[in-house]
Every structure is written in C-alpha cells, then in structure tokens.
Structure 1
Amino acid sequence: MKNSANISAYVLCGGKSTRMQSEKGLVLYKGKPFIRWIVEAIMPITSNIILVTSNGDYTFMGLPMIEDTYADKGPVGGIFTALNHTDTEQNLILSCDVPKITTSLLAKLTTESKQKDALITFLSDDKNDYPLIGVYKKKALKTFSDAISAEKLKLCPLVNSISHHKIIINTEEKSLVQNINSKAELHALNLLDL
C-alpha cells in the first residue's frame, strides 16, 4: 500500500476516561498500549500522524502532539482542533480506544472518502455510527467552529446534519471498531483473544 502525503491522521487522546479510570490510549492490550496498535494501523496509509492531547505521557510515541484549542468540548472540540491545525484536505480522525482497528479497514475508508463529495465519510454497522473512525475534509472546519460557538457538542447529530457518507461494515469487521471504554470491556476483549 502506498503511504499518502495528502492525508493527515489525528488521534484524539483527550477525554475524561471516567469509565476506564485511566488514560485510555495508554491502556495495555496484548502488552501494547492502545495508541501503539492504532498508530501501527495508520502508518501504511500516512506517516503524517498527530496526537491531539495535552498529556505528556504520550511523548514515548515520538509523534507531534497538539493540545485542544478549546478545553472540555469533547470529540467535537478535538475534531475542530485537528481541522484547524491540518494543511491537508483529507483528515483521518480516530479515537484512542479502538485497538483492534486494521490498516485494511482504514484503507477502505480513506479510498472511498476520496471518491465522495461528502464533508465526512465514516464507518457504520447500519445500527451504530462510528464518526470517530472517519475522514473529515478541511472544509468541515466552519461547521465545527459554529457547533462549538453554539455549544452543540453531540457528535452524531452534528455529523448527520451535514453532507456525509457512511461506509457500512460487515459483521466480521464490527469487532474491529469496538470502543473499549471500561475495564469490563477490556477484560472481555482480552478473554476473547485468549
């Protein structure tokens, strides 16, 4: 697969992690932090990877880090920060709690997003949407800026209110996009992989 210079990737490492009770991106899965699994899946697609975080514990990754422009604005704030920072039209945005994400699924997402006029292309299983596994065009910046000004911080209604394209994943791919938000979910994930 050809690594593309015309797409940037931003991993949102913010969040309160109240259910996990520790920094989610640094939680270990099969002996490796979530963030390393995610970055390794992104690397064949682009080497332009930026972490959106103010937590210095991520410096071991050796990647550029930027802080949220506006504190405590959730994923909407994180995406705004990424789009405000980027100089590429295509921007892969991922949360830091999807350790099973694969290069092939991200390649499908980025390839299909290039063929669509939609401002946002993201994954869906036809029941649940995964807007934190998506490609956001730089042109969506104003939408996110307006949402922050209006305190409209719920991500799903926001992405569904503007031009978007959903890529429907199959049953096998569903486990790859699972958010691991709690110690119970992490325990279940580790048991599945024994």
Structure 2
Amino acid sequence: MLGIVLCGGHSLRMGTDKGLLIHQDKLWAQVAADKLSVLDLPVKFSVNPSQQETYAGYFGAEQLIVDDPSLDIRGPLLGVLSAHLSNPEEDLFLLACDMLLMEIKLLEKLIHPFKADDTFDAYIFTQDGQQEPLCGIYKAEGLKKNVHLLQTNGLAKHSMKYVLGNLRVCETGIEDQDYRCFSNFNSQEEINNVTSP
C-alpha cells in the first residue's frame, strides 16, 4: 500500500497553496505525510503541474505524482486516478493535506477492517451518514474499474462520492468527539482558530 497526500487542489478560497502553509513548524503536506508514515507506508505527494517544481524542491521529484494529462477530469479524482495509473498494483491510502487535525489513531481504525476483510474496494469514514472520501483506503482493483469507466465514458460524474457509488465500500462511523479531525481549512480565519490535537 502507498500513502498519498492530496495536494493538487487549486486552493482558490485560501488564495495560496495549502500544502505549503506552515503548521507547528511543518508544511501542511509534511504534516499529512508524517501521519501516513507512522503506518509504515511509503508516501508520495499528488500535485498538479504548476506545483511540480516547488514541491520537488521540498520533497524531491521522485516523491511526486503529477496529474496525468491523459485524464480529462478535474478535482481530487484526477489526483487519485493519476496516482493509481503511476502505481497500478498498489492500494492507496489517501489523506488530504488540509485535514490538519487528523489523528493517527483514526487512520489506524481504517487499517483494521482493510486487513480483516478484503472483499471491499474502499474503506472510508462516514459522518452523519455522509461519506468522507478524502481520508480512506482505495484498493487497486476498484480504482482500475473506475479508470475503465472513465475511458469508456461510463463515469457520469467526476466526484469522489460518485466514484464510491461504483465501489463496494466498508464504512466506519465517526464518533462525535472525532468530528474535528475531519475539518478541512479553507481560509486564514479558520486556521487562526485551530487548536492542535
């Protein structure tokens, strides 16, 4: 399995690249990578072409997965399917770089069902019945299925939640005290209110 830190969004609401913001003396992208590394996963960073040079300066070019230009999609799905195409045999553990408050104990909570039952294509959390697609494990076989749908015009929508609708999903409910871990930050004001886990 490969850990993938999703950094390739355009951060329009933030107005600056979120993955390169600093939290507790570390880049947001590095904060997410460190959490995935604790799970003994090799980690790579999903970036768009405009970020490639800057991120290579921080992490090294070999740590990057740049959006695949052959994929005619946008949003997080572009990063996810690009990561899959560059590592087609690997299951992917995704973590968005702006989930600053995510705790390692929750990431471990997804590893358990993944190891216990391999009949699913994806392992994610749900909050009040809503799926949280940007922190989860996606198996190679399920991603392959969605690449095929995309290539045959069978992917009607390009959202992560639509993709999950095509997969067998193992859902883990989030307990009330862990809701904060799934906050993502889109403005400087929100960051100023951050309290660390």
**TM-score class, shorter:** 0.7 to 0.9
Please give the per-residue CA displacement for 1:50-88, whole angstroms capped at 9, x wherever unaligned: 111131222313461021113652111111111222254
Deviation at 1:158, TM superposition (A): 2.1
Aligned-partner Cα distance in 1 for 2:96–2:149: 19
Q: Larger deviation: 81-90 or 22-31?
A: 81-90
2:35 aligns with: 41
What are the equivalent positions in structure 2 for 1:29-178 lying under 5 Å apart?
A: 29-53=23-47, 54=49, 55=51, 56-59=53-56, 60-62=58-60, 64-69=63-68, 70=71, 73-86=74-87, 88-116=89-117, 117-149=119-151, 150=153, 152-178=157-183
Deviation at 1:98, TM superposition (A): 0.9
Aligned-partner Cα distance in 2 for 1:24–1:35: 8
Is contact 1:92-1:110 (8 Å) kept?
A: no
Unmatched 5+ stretches in structure 1: 1-6
Unmatched 5+ stretches in structure 2: none
Q: Which of the residues 160, 173, 185 maps onto 1:180?
A: 185
Deviation at 1:9, TM superposition (A): 0.8
Aligned-partner Cα distance in 1 for 2:40–2:82: 19
Aligned-partner Cα distance in 1 for 2:149–2:88: 21
**Letter of the 1:45 counterpart:** L
RMSD across aligned C-alpha pairs, in angstroms? Answer: 2.0
Deviation at 1:146, TM superposition (A): 4.0
Aligned-partner Cα distance in 2 for 1:161–1:88: 19
Deviation at 1:148, TM superposition (A): 3.6
1:8 aligns with: 2
1:4 aligns with: none
Instruction: Give the fraction of aligned pairs with identical amino acids, expressed as a percent.
Output: 23
Judging changes above 3 Å, is the alpha-carbon distance between structure 1 residues 20 and 30 closer, same or farther for their aligned structure 2 residues? same
Aligned-partner Cα distance in 2 for 1:154–1:183: 26
Give the number of aligned pairs. Answer: 185
Q: TM-score w.r.t. structure 1 length? A: 0.85
